[in-house]
């Protein structure tokens, strides 16, 4: 395909984003020599203006956008439609521009989580635990709605956050029990633990990893491994990391934006590790 197209990742801050590494590697492998992928520092207040001026220059047509924080909810009013997956958590991380000019939003974080878990041999579980209650935690609940047969316990710091997680559970069809963060060590006995907290928050839990842990999905990727992930692996548990999620959600973005499937997972991962 020789047609020139452009794509980019938007967010604030954005300098740390590894999306350009992944998408450019995919373009090279797919032979899309006329495609470019950039990053733009855009916050919530600047997003409407960015969309307003898309396509005003004489450059290649836009194929799509990747969105990171804090834009995943702010972008929704600017779109013509969003997928059921994105609507389920009110978060869009992917925008694809159709030939008819329509802007369609999707969420590849949720299927990306599931793909990363499958790759590490994690299928259905009888119960699970989630550490944290932010936007990533709601995506974790959406993923768990597809693979968890029983209760999900969310460990949070406030009753307000607990109420939010219970509401997400009701919306997503997941039985959510909430517990205080002070009891988070109890989470580590679950067959699947998904840690969605900021760097450093769960470090103290490393000392509480059981002798025979199940699977841990720690969504962080820098620094890596986290103390919790290192302790988990040392005791023989299965560990899925943030880079696993990053590459799998990017694979789905590439497929949607380029119309080419399957996207070159191996080449994208190689570029990520070689950066």
Quick check: 249 and 108 in contact, CB under 8 A? Answer: yes
* Residue linked to tokens 């290192």: 230
Q: What is the C-alpha radius of gyration for the chain, rounded to an integer number of angstroms?
A: 19
Between strands 94-97 and 103-106, the pairing is antiparallel
Q: In angstroms, rounded to a whole number, what is the distance separating the alpha carbons of residues 150 and 75?
A: 33
CA angle 275, 26, 252 (to 5 degrees): 110
Residue of 5, 23, 39, 72 with catalytic role? 72
Helix axis angle for 135-147 and 109-119, nearest 10°, is: 60
Q: In angstroms, rounded to a whole number, what is the distance separating the alpha carbons of residues 52 and 50?
A: 5
Annotated active-site residue 72? The verdict is yes
Terminal CA-CA length for the chain: 26
Q: Give the torsion through C-alpha atoms of 81, 95, 252, 249, to 10 deg.
A: -110
Active site residues: 72
């Amino acid at each position: 395909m020789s047609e020139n197209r452009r794509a980019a990742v938007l967010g604030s801050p954005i300098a740390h984003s590894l999306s350009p590494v992944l998408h450019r590697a995919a373009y090279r492998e797919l032979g899309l020599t006329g495609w470019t992928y950039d990053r733009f520092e855009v916050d919530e207040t600047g997003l409407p203006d960015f969309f307003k001026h898309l396509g005003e220059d004489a450059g290649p047509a836009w194929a799509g956008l990747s969105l990171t924080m804090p834009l995943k909810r702010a972008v929704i009013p600017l779109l013509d439609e969003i997928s059921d997956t994105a609507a389920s958590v009110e978060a869009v991380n992917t925008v694809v521009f159709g030939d008819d000019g329509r802007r369609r939003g999707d969420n590849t974080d949720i299927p990306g989580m599931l793909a990363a878990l499958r790759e590490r041999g994690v299928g259905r579980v009888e119960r699970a635990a989630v550490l944290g209650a932010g936007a990533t935690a709601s995506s974790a609940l959406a993923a768990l709605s597809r693979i968890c047969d029983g209760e999900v316990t969310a460990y949070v710091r406030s009753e307000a956050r607990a109420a939010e997680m219970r509401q997400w559970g009701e919306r997503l069809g997941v039985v959510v029990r909430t517990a205080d963060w002070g009891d988070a060590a109890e989470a580590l006995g679950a067959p699947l633990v998904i840690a969605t907290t900021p760097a450093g928050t769960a470090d103290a839990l490393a000392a509480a990893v059981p002798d025979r842990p199940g699977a841990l999905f720690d969504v962080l990727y820098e620094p890596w491994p986290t103390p919790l992930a290192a302790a988990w692996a040392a005791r023989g548990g299965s560990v899925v990391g943030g880079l696993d999620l990053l590459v799998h959600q990017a694979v789905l973005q590439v497929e949607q934006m380029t119309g080419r499937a399957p996207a070159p997972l191996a080449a994208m991962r190689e570029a990520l590790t070689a950066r």
